[in-house]
Amino acid sequence: MKGYLDKVNNWIDENKELILGTIYNLVRIRTENLSPGGNEKQGQDYLYNFVRKSIPEANVDIFDILEVEGIKSHKDYFPTVDGVEKNYCNRPNLMAKLPGRGNGKSMLFSGHMDTMSINEKKWNIFHDPFSGKIRDGKMYGRGTLDMKAGLACGFFAMKCINDLKVGLKGDIYAESVIDEEYGGVNGTIANRIKYPGIDFAILSEPTGLKCGVESMRGTDWKIIVIEKGPGGIAFSGKKLKNPIYKIAKIINAIEKFERYLNKVSPTPKNYKKNEKLEVLTYQVASGGTSYLESQAIPLKGHIYLWFYTYEYMNEKQVEELFLNFMKKELSKYKVFENDFPRFEKVIRYMEGHKTDTGHGALSAIENAFKLLNISFRKRGLIQTNDAYAFKKIGGTEVVVIVPVGANAHGIDEYVEVDSVFRL
């Protein structure tokens, strides 16, 4: 093992510029998930041309996910986002394979090409959200942490094995899928259907070099309030119904629900006792966003929110828990007596995952961490991801590991460069 470690360290030293340059180029390519469509193709083409230089073209597969037989009829395929049909035109998946000598266990490095949108927000460290520039050992840009650095690491791990002619018995795979953000998962589902039975996978969702052996469940909800009447301004002394007042009461109920959710949800052993389940209220809207839209009582409004639950809670339990609490809380107000808000799920219900911690690959990862003097910590993750689809659909055991960084989905997202090489 020590001999291989020296060779790998030397290979990394020789390829540092190439590794950082590849991540930089991927960050510079805008691959935002603009649901119901997305801009992943240019990034996938770049990665395809990169991997072809070291892997025979016959072992590199780039394909339309809707070409995968049976995907649209698969029970886990989810065709819409907020009620709008998804568009998969020019959004290919990528899979590369390094064949082994035979009679060995197979391994997959998995990541997604799509990133969240920047929503045209101004960044601070570097004004360009797609700069890929480095300052104080941190590379900044949308997708650096989630997850282009981790994605690149998987393909470079394959290249390293190939360049060093390690000659493993089992096949090695590296993939880049589309449509992970906004509860997508359909890209991962396509690859699990087309490439089933891979023994073990490392998924590159943000973990800070911790070993993610459990992830949470959750979904986005939309709460809609609609009032009857003309809206506007009465000028007659008549009291007009205002959805904003109802929304304010709903927000108070949501805040109480977070406390209730933690009270009735025992913390699993893979999580720290002080790690709480979160309810994230993303958007509150009614009456427009500017002064020129503000001169009338609106007729409707909505709230978008997300909340996490632990892996052991199923969809029906969670839905009943949430809706029953909200009904009880809002029934305290007369305005909801015969006019309860409409509750809708915007995306699929994201399932959680649990890694089989007795799997031999996990022991190998632990040994590798020790050799590199990295603290090995098996942790539950405060996130949802597509890890559940690996075992459920493809029969593949999975663990989640990615470099250290911060501000995923936010301003000044970054990844620590040193942790990229350690991974």
Q: What domain count does the chain have?
A: 2
Domain harbouring 228, CATH code: 3.30.70.360
> What are the phi and psi torsion angles at 382 (to 5°)?
-90, 70
Confidence of residue 1 (pLDDT cuts 50, 70, 90): low
Per-residue pLDDT tens over the stretch 181-201: 999 999 999 999 999 999 999
Give the chain's mean pLDDT: 95
Q: What is the pLDDT of residues 298-315, one digit of tens each?
A: 999 999 999 999 999 999
Within its chain, how far is the Cα of 379 from the centroid? 17
Q: What is the pLDDT of residue 204?
A: 95
What percentage of the chain carries pLDDT values higher than 90?
90
| Same domain (yes/no): 27, 176 | yes
The residue among 374 and 178 whose pLDDT is bigger is: 178
284: phi > 0 → left, psi -120 to 50 → alpha, else beta; which?
A: beta
Check whether residue 409 and residue 330 sit in a common domain. Answer: no
Residue pair 217/355 in contact (Cβ under 8 Å)? The answer is no
Kindly state whether residues 333 and 382 are assigned to the same domain: no
pLDDT tens digit sequence for 359-398: 999 999 999 999 888 999 999 999 999 999 999 999 999 9
Interatomic CA distance for residues 218 and 227, integer angstroms: 29
| DSSP per-residue string spanning 77-130 | ---EETTEE---TT-EEEEEEE--SSSS--EEEEEE--B---TTPPPSSSS-TT
Residues 333 and 356 in one domain: no
Q: pLDDT at residue 147 above 80?
A: yes
In this structure, the answer to whether residues 53 and 155 fall within a common structural domain is: yes
Given 303, 329, 345, the domain boundary residue is 345
Torsion angle, alpha carbons of 196, 197, 201, 205, to 10: 30
pTM: 0.94
Hey, is 47 helix, strand or coil? helix
Task: Give me the pLDDT at residue 288, please.
Answer: 92
Verify that 376 and 340 share a domain, yes or no.
no
> Whose CA is closest to 64, among 87, 31, 33, 34?
87
Instruction: For residue 326, give its domain range.
Output: 217-345
Do 126 and 48 fall into the same domain?
yes
Based on the domain organization, do 305 and 164 belong to the same domain?
no
Reference 326, options 279, 282, 275, 287; nearest CA is 279
The CA distance from 262 to 274, in Å, is: 11
Tell me, yes or no, whether 203 and 134 share the same domain.
yes
Do strands 378-380 and 211-215 pair parallel, antiparallel, or not at all (unpaired)? parallel
Q: pLDDT tens for residues 21-65?
A: 999 999 999 999 999 999 999 999 999 999 999 999 999 999 999
The pLDDT score that the predictor gives to residue 122 is 87
Confidence of residue 3 (pLDDT cuts 50, 70, 90): low
